[in-house]
Structure 1
Amino acid sequence: MTYIDQILRVIAVLCLAVASLCMLIMAGSENNLCLYEYIRPLQVTYFSELHGTSADDPEMIQFSGIVGLFLCLPLLLSYRRFWYILFLAVYFLIFLIVLSMLETAPFSKIIYDSIVFCHQPLWIIGVITWLLFLILSLIYVRPI
């Protein structure tokens, strides 16, 4: 493994940390998550206005941020590709399980509506850094 590969791995893990922090911050605040036309036509519905199991979706997003933060350390310390791929698979498995528990709307719609209609620029940073994590991880684990 080259020195450049290790730098890519570290940058990828730092991007995951930033994206996870963005998920924690945004899902933890009252009016940062919203859906457009969920209850009323042409109006925004904030998750803080919902009751029942629909109101639990921000906690699922927070949990996915927590999972990302917990797996940052093993990913950062895995110098070999095998261990990195293993922890990466664990992360994506847990991430997909958590996101499948969202009941109100798909994760992409929640993020899109929160960016466009709630004007939350921190979500843009979170999405961009998560995509950077994904791209850099794929570059790092590529076959030699």
Structure 2
Amino acid sequence: METPVRTDAPTSELPFDVFARTCPSRETLEHVTGRWGSLTVGALRDGACRFNELRRRVDGVSEKMLSQTLHALERDGIVHREAQPTNPPRVDYELTPLGHEVADRLLALIHSVEDNMRQVLAARASYDEARGGR
């Protein structure tokens, strides 16, 4: 039996193609790999957090950006938001099973970057020196 060939994107074994302009996976990839998305997903890998805990963990993120990031990740099914009916209200954020899979892969990339920062910094210095400083 022949495998059907998609006519809207290059031939691929995957049902979605992030390289295709209209593929919805691009938006999710942006949510996960953007600066605040990747740091938020990575921070939640160790367990559920309240908003302010997460904001402290992801140093430098504004309240507005963290809120937007969490909404996007929740919409994509990567983060679960649970509001507790307490006074004052308590809201916890945690990774979904999909979020854990994404976080594991993302943290492998993060650790690779961290492990190779001496090489990166040396390459930057060499690049800048070759171009007359920065």
- Shorter-normalised TM range: under 0.3
Larger proportion of helix = 1
Q: Scaled by the length of structure 1, what TM-score is found? A: 0.26
Question: Highest CA radius of gyration, 1 or 2?
Answer: 2
For CA contacts below 8 A with separation 6 or more, give which structure has more relative contact order.
Answer: 1
Q: TM-score scaled to structure 2, two decimals?
A: 0.27
Q: Which has the higher strand share?
A: 2
